[in-house]
Structure 1
Amino acid sequence: MKRNKLNRTIAKPVYTFLLVTFFALLSFSGFGGQKNSVDQNQPGHTPVFTQFVYQGNDEVYNNHPLEEDEFYNPILQGCYPDPSIVRKGDDYFMVHSSFAMFPGVPIFHSKNLVNWTQIGHVLDRKSQLKVQDAGIAAGVYAPAIKYNPNNDTFYMITTQFAGGFGNIVVKTKDPFKGWSDPYKLKFNGIDPSMFFDDDGKAYVVHNDAPDQGKELYNGHRVIKIWNYDVESDQVIAGTDKIIVDGGVDLSEKPIWIEAPHIYKKNDRYYLMCAEGGTGGWHSEVIFVSENPRGPYKPAANNPILSQRYLNPNRANKVDWAGHADLVKGPNGEQYYGVFLGVRPNEKERVNTGRETFILPVDWSGEFPVFENGLIPMEPKLKMPEGVVNNTGEDGFFPNGNFTFTENFSSDKLDYRWIGMRGPREDFISVTSNGLEITPFDTNIKAVAPISSLFQRQMHKKFTATTTVNYKPESENDLAGLACYQSEQFNYVFGITKKNNAYYLLLERTERGKSEIIASTRIDITQPVQLQVKADGDDYRFNFAVNGGNFQNLGGTVSGDILSTNVAGGFTGALIGLYATSANDTQPE
């Protein structure tokens, strides 16, 4: 009614002019749905990904189906290392290292230690996470999450090797609602953790170098403790003290005593640490004291967790076990320990990275011992009494063999999608046609934010497939799939342009040097499906045009450069939807 009245009161020429101007402005500004009305089958200069499907198919899960009272171990597959866990009431929260991934420190929630939901990331904004110029193996290490009942506050303390931070702590009253900006802590070293005693006093423990001039051998480290002021959120100057020198037995030259946690039981203080380095000699050891500041005496039966003494040819091998944290189980009596471990492939290479495992802990004696933690680990565990396994259902994180499908139809992406060195929101937008990635002028080899949306590789045998619509403007433009271990080691499977033709190429980068393994001209007038299939160390890159049959490009290639063994560092392989306007390799 009002519009009709307005139409009658405006002179026709003026009204026509206003209408033309109005729609012109809509067109210019991109409002009015113009962007979303573009035919998704017509490729544009900004790549649009319309689907991503990840399917895991590991033999260990096919050969070991679950019974009703069982769940799989690891509880988090793929690169979720250095777990730390805390309980408040019926709620468990668990965090993990994230290195240069953005956002940082994934945080999970559970009511029963079996069914886990990712509720976000602790460090999810630029004021908390400054990894823009950090290599993949730098950034955020070994977070520890603790709850202080004296002030009803959660703390996450970690080392951030980037942005001038060093050791930091953030805090919150509610982990579901986000965390504070960091408080920079005035001490050196790595792997900090906190302990809050019943009397209200607080402490920080961490790994550090020996006092100057007292280093006895390579890998000689110490554990220090500081008193902590919860009012100023700072260690108290002058209170630092070495409480472990070298490890359990200094005469045996133990290496890399680290990842300390203090627990209190029966009015005694237990210090648990990793020892042996985060590789084949990794283990967990325990000490006891009458005072949180020591002196600490090691248990006679150390280590209390390790896989280092076992047959290297054992079936379903789990290795490198350590870097653990303890928590009481759902019944309040049984303890459990979470820790990292790896599952090498048939060539002993570690492509899935350090994963999160769990074991029950027997603490009926003086010292805790991981049940079956010194014998070959099994792929399944008995669930805590009364727990129903809902893993992979109703928002719970999956494990075992599973399929993850992302249609990019929601503005809120799944939390397992991450960026590298910068927020994913800086380069993605979800439209009605799919996920648009605006290419950065940095490529995958840069130690800088790159425009790639990553997921973790979670299986030795998997298939990952995506569909992309894309028309590169120049030889500098490329978009497609990436398998990424680091800026120095990766595969790129992408569409680019050379002269007036369009090509699909497979590029291998090893130690920063790139080579084109294969390339082929490709029709980009219809959607292109890109696929990577892995079977242990064997990777194959396939493509299909307009829904046709898949064709292989480059044959079978080795996943060696995607393994920790070859690439070094501390991460597992990532699978990325990748775009760049700084492509520096061309098809032949």
Structure 2
Amino acid sequence: EPLYEGHRAVWIREVDAQTFEPVSDAVVAVNGGVDLSEQPVWIEGPHLYKVDGKYLLSAAEGGTGPQHSQVILIAKSPLGPFTPHPDNPILTQRDLPEDRAEPITSVGHADFTQDSEGNWWAVFLGTRPYQGNEYNTGRETFLMPVSWDNGIPRITKPGDVIPHVIDRPALPAQPKASLPLTGNFTYTDEFEEDVLPLHWLTVRIPAQKAYRLENGELVLEARADGVGSPGQPSFLARRQQHTNAEAYTEVSFVPGDNDDEAGIAAFQNDAAYYALGLSMSEDGKAIVRLRKRAGDATDKDGEIVAEVPAATPLGASLKLRIVSRGPEIDFYQAARGDDWEPVALGEDSTILSTEKAGGFVGTLLGVYAQSAGD
């Protein structure tokens, strides 16, 4: 039974290596965390290592926020009893000033490995907030070297600042990745393949595919389930990987109704998104509409932030663009080239942050199409 909010335990049992059937009863390996008297929260994500004849149980402690950390407990047997090491935590940033520049926070969920030269390394999760505990890029994977100190692997010492850049491990050069994963980059998808790359995501697993690839274009089926619907919207997107980022697309869409819409969206979840779409006014003119839902909206379509004449007439293609600037986000349209006209500037991007929208997987930037009819 939990003794307080966030009280958890790590259990361990022996299983058959072939069938995975239990061999022994489960026993408590860690109760609460390193020091139960201090009411630690959310002990989770355990890994077990055998090093120099001892068993090291490594687990995350402190929750997924700025108090996150990684701790080590030691035993002579894989079933324990496990004793917390006195030098915990082995990884955290909670002891640093909150107002430090360009912080990396909420670090934990570490796993260890060795390279071919015997050097130890750790991969772990962390976040890069743009202010306070607000970030739109979700939890990210970090890599750091590991030193051994007083019999345990150590990633950070008290007061250490996790760097944004380190020297890479001495590993053989690898083939260039098909999709950039780090640093500054520009990526364009011309939709010339037979299938969409795996970085394109849907909000939920669709019962029926809502798109097709055709002559270098992504063709979306305009569905009644729109962005923000609990159903299956016609929405394809990829993760936002930078605090300062932009995404744009060219839309060819002829709405048949004022509620028909197609465009580009910044989406955290059904209740937290911006949708910038090409639509039609009641008098039959092409318009660009920006909608926002910030968690407390009762209407799944959110509120209309801006509605302006489209830069192109009805039936002509239109370029739409989203620019993310940390806590602010801008929206543009263009008829051609880089002649961008603002639709709305300086909108609140923090509604997409984990702090306000919940979750920790980050914002999606993608394209959508929705229709009021069948």
Identity between Structure 1 and Structure 2 (%):
33
Question: Aligned residue for 1:516?
Answer: 304
CA contact (8 A) 1:260 1:272 kept: yes
- d(CA) in 1 for partners of 2:158 and 2:212? 46
**Cα distance, 1:350 vs. partner?**
1.0
Kindly provide the CA deviation profile for residues 499-536 of structure 1, in whole angstroms up to 9, marking residues without a partner as x: 32332100110115121111023223322100001221
Extract unaligned runs of 5+ from structure 1: 1-213, 584-588
**Cα distance, 1:372 vs. partner?**
5.6
Question: Aligned residue for 2:6?
Answer: 219
Q: Does 1:481 align with 2:264?
A: yes
- d(CA) in 1 for partners of 2:32 and 2:190? 51
* Cα 1:474/1:441, change in 2 over 3 Å: same
Q: Does 1:317 align with 2:103?
A: yes
Task: Report 1:350-361 matches (<5 A).
Answer: 350-361=135-146
SS of residue matched to 2:229: coil
Q: Does 1:271 align with 2:61?
A: no
Extract unaligned runs of 5+ from structure 2: none
Q: Does 1:530 align with 2:315?
A: no
Task: Report 1:410-425 matches (<5 A).
Answer: 410-423=193-206
Which amino acid counterpart does residue 291 of structure 2 have in structure 1?
Answer: E
CA contact (8 A) 1:418 1:424 kept: no
**Cα distance, 1:232 vs. partner?**
3.5
SS of residue matched to 2:188: strand
Which amino acid counterpart does residue 79 of structure 2 have in structure 1?
Answer: R
CA contact (8 A) 2:15 2:22 kept: yes
Question: Aligned residue for 1:571?
Answer: 361
CA contact (8 A) 2:92 2:156 kept: no
- d(CA) in 2 for partners of 1:376 and 1:326? 19
Task: Report 1:71-150 matches (<5 A).
Answer: none
**Cα distance, 1:438 vs. partner?**
1.2
Which amino acid counterpart does residue 524 of structure 1 have in structure 2?
Answer: L
SS of residue matched to 2:264: strand
CA contact (8 A) 1:528 1:546 kept: yes
Which amino acid counterpart does residue 294 of structure 1 have in structure 2?
Answer: G
* Cα 1:220/1:364, change in 2 over 3 Å: closer
SS of residue matched to 1:405: coil
Kindly provide the CA deviation profile for residues 441-461 of structure 1, in whole angstroms up to 9, marking residues without a partner as x: 212222233211111111111
Question: Aligned residue for 1:504?
Answer: 288
Question: Aligned residue for 2:72?
Answer: 286
Task: Report 1:425-436 matches (<5 A).
Answer: 426-436=209-219
- Within the candidate set 337, 352, 375, 2:122 is matched to 337
CA contact (8 A) 1:469 1:524 kept: no
**Cα distance, 1:552 vs. partner?**
0.5
Q: Which deviates more, 254-263 or 431-440?
A: 431-440
Kindly provide the CA deviation profile for residues 218-253 of structure 1, in whole angstroms up to 9, marking residues without a partner as x: 1111001132334434x4286211111110011111
- d(CA) in 1 for partners of 2:19 and 2:314? 59
Task: Report 1:179-194 matches (<5 A).
Answer: none
Kindly provide the CA deviation profile for residues 254-312 of structure 1, in whole angstroms up to 9, marking residues without a partner as x: 11111111111122211100001010110000011111111111111000000001011
- d(CA) in 2 for partners of 1:257 and 1:450? 36
CA contact (8 A) 1:347 1:537 kept: no
TM-score using structure 1 length: 0.59
- d(CA) in 2 for partners of 1:442 and 1:230? 46
Kindly provide the CA deviation profile for residues 518-562 of structure 1, in whole angstroms up to 9, marking residues without a partner as x: 102322332210000122111110001244611011232010111
CA contact (8 A) 1:270 1:289 kept: yes
CA contact (8 A) 1:280 1:319 kept: yes
- d(CA) in 2 for partners of 1:257 and 1:582? 47
Kindly provide the CA deviation profile for residues 106-127 of structure 1, in whole angstroms up to 9, marking residues without a partner as x: xxxxxxxxxxxxxxxxxxxxxx
- d(CA) in 2 for partners of 1:346 and 1:256? 25
Question: Aligned residue for 1:301?
Answer: 87
TM-score using structure 2 length: 0.92
Question: Aligned residue for 1:545?
Answer: 335
Q: Does 1:380 align with 2:165?
A: yes
Q: Which deviates more, 396-405 or 430-439?
A: 396-405
- d(CA) in 1 for partners of 2:208 and 2:120? 40
Which amino acid counterpart does residue 274 of structure 1 have in structure 2?
Answer: A
Question: Aligned residue for 1:462?
Answer: 245
* Cα 1:316/1:425, change in 2 over 3 Å: farther
- d(CA) in 2 for partners of 1:316 and 1:548? 31
Q: Does 1:580 align with 2:370?
A: yes
**Cα distance, 1:216 vs. partner?**
1.5
Greater helix proportion:
1
Aligned length: 366
SS of residue matched to 2:15: strand
CA contact (8 A) 1:282 1:321 kept: yes
Question: Aligned residue for 1:156?
Answer: none
Kindly provide the CA deviation profile for residues 75-110 of structure 1, in whole angstroms up to 9, marking residues without a partner as x: xxxxxxxxxxxxxxxxxxxxxxxxxxxxxxxxxxxx
Which amino acid counterpart does residue 270 of structure 1 have in structure 2?
Answer: L
Asked which structure has the greater CA Rg, the reply is 1
Q: Which deviates more, 265-274 or 223-232?
A: 223-232
